[in-house]
Homo-oligomer: A and B are copies of this chain.
């Protein structure tokens, strides 16, 4: 049976009834090759007709493929869907270097940002940080207690919590040590390991202010303790001012319940601030007039300065950006000189909205303006793009973002002057990809 006939009896006008599918396809192909050879490729973005112009048949378009000639699987095979098996390499990754002494209960797994599109991270790829393993909580037995310097302490079931009016917002979360691998472990010649400690999703939950306004927080209670229900009772102190501003108790990400490794059934969300403040498996909020100085804000997450002193309360993640295409995992080795190619990347700021991104090809001497594309939202990933004519020469490729707080992403040297070289937190200096003449891409920080 003629393949095209399946769609309509009228399509026989297009391909002769007397030809078999195979021969008509081959025939089309030869004609097409003639068209293409005479086409002016220079006007093309990427010479799309190159396959045809080369005058050779492409076996995969000429021969019918098995998925076209056979029955697929039943649509209810996966009531909850899974990725194509061909995408098996698109996963979170970790290494003992990203753990406490090799213990994968206290470690970080990183998001394959080199493989992502747009600004939404699918839930299966959201980066994970645990301090005592992933807690697996029965939501029917989980409670949130809010107490301390409040007039009306409460205990909420998950059902209670969901009765408050909900809000949905798209925000990134980022570990404050994202990028630290460049400083402390230069063996990471990888965007996933160097910058993958972040993700961005649509969160849904209750604005904390909605609950707190009803409880009567004492004006002297300028600090809030958030405690997790995992085995580490991961805890952080957060200024009440921020809690009353845009913090939320969230129960959903990208439309569905939080994943266990993201704090199921509930986590705190502290938009734009270091992700460890967005305490997972949230079980308790306590209000007080002094910080708590928890383990995870004294032994960790303080910012060591050249003077030997450390900044203790340094919360917002400052303006940052990274070029995701090309990158070590997505090199330009298949490009030919003259090809047009899209340079793409992510910019974000915990202090507001991205207003501007520039690109440099020479390590920061000269800059061109990139285009912001898609949704540009506060405290969310923002995609930038620049169309580039590939020339097959050495480049030092950089991006530099600006936010509406007026901050400009610093150079490595500007950052070193203030922050020194020992601290691993709040590093947001400009990243440099070394693009080689053969299209390979390496992390230029490795040169030093």
- Contacts of A3 on B, CB cut-off 8 Å? 233
Contact present for B8 and A339 (CB under 8 Å)? no
Contact present for B118 and A255 (CB under 8 Å)? yes
- Contacts of A295 on B, CB cut-off 8 Å? 6-8
Q: CB-CB contacts of A27-53 with B at 8 A, as 1s and 0s?
A: 011001001100100011110111110
A23 CB to nearest chain B CB (Å): 16
Residue of B nearest to A256 (CB): B122
A123 interface residue, CB < 8 Å from B? yes
Q: CB-CB contacts of A51-70 with B at 8 A, as 1s and 0s?
A: 11000001011000101111
For the complex, give the distance between the alpha carbons of A102 and B29 in Å.
40
Contact present for A230 and B67 (CB under 8 Å)? yes
A405 interface residue, CB < 8 Å from B? no
Instruction: Tell me the A227-271 residues at the B interface (CB within 8 Å).
Output: 227, 229-233, 235, 251-252, 254-261, 264-265
User: Contacting A154 at CB < 8 Å: which of B52, B76, B123, B210?
Assistant: B52
A281 interface residue, CB < 8 Å from B? yes
- Contacts of A261 on B, CB cut-off 8 Å? 75, 78, 81
Number of interface residues of A (CB under 8 A): 153
Stretch at the interface among A88-96, A351-359, A426-434: A88-96
Instruction: Say yes or no: A75-B155 contact (C-beta < 8 A), given A124-B81, A229-B65, A231-B70.
Output: no
Q: CB-CB contacts of A1-18 with B at 8 A, as 1s and 0s?
A: 001001110110010000
A273 interface residue, CB < 8 Å from B? no
Stretch at the interface among A156-164, A174-182, A314-322, A412-420: A156-164
For the complex, give the distance between the alpha carbons of A125 and B147 in Å.
38
A329 CB to nearest chain B CB (Å): 14
Contact present for B122 and A75 (CB under 8 Å)? no
A111 CB to nearest chain B CB (Å): 9
Would you give 7 A-B contacts (Cβ < 8 Å), ordered by A?
A67-B229, A72-B134, A79-B109, A84-B136, A90-B257, A121-B255, A165-B342
A235 CB to nearest chain B CB (Å): 4
Contact present for A125 and B76 (CB under 8 Å)? no
A33 CB to nearest chain B CB (Å): 9
For the complex, give the distance between the alpha carbons of A438 and B11 in Å.
59
Contact present for B58 and A75 (CB under 8 Å)? no
Candidate in A81, A137, A201 with the most chain B CB atoms within 10 angstroms: A81
A61 CB to nearest chain B CB (Å): 4
- Contacts of A90 on B, CB cut-off 8 Å? 80, 256-257
Contact present for A8 and B294 (CB under 8 Å)? yes
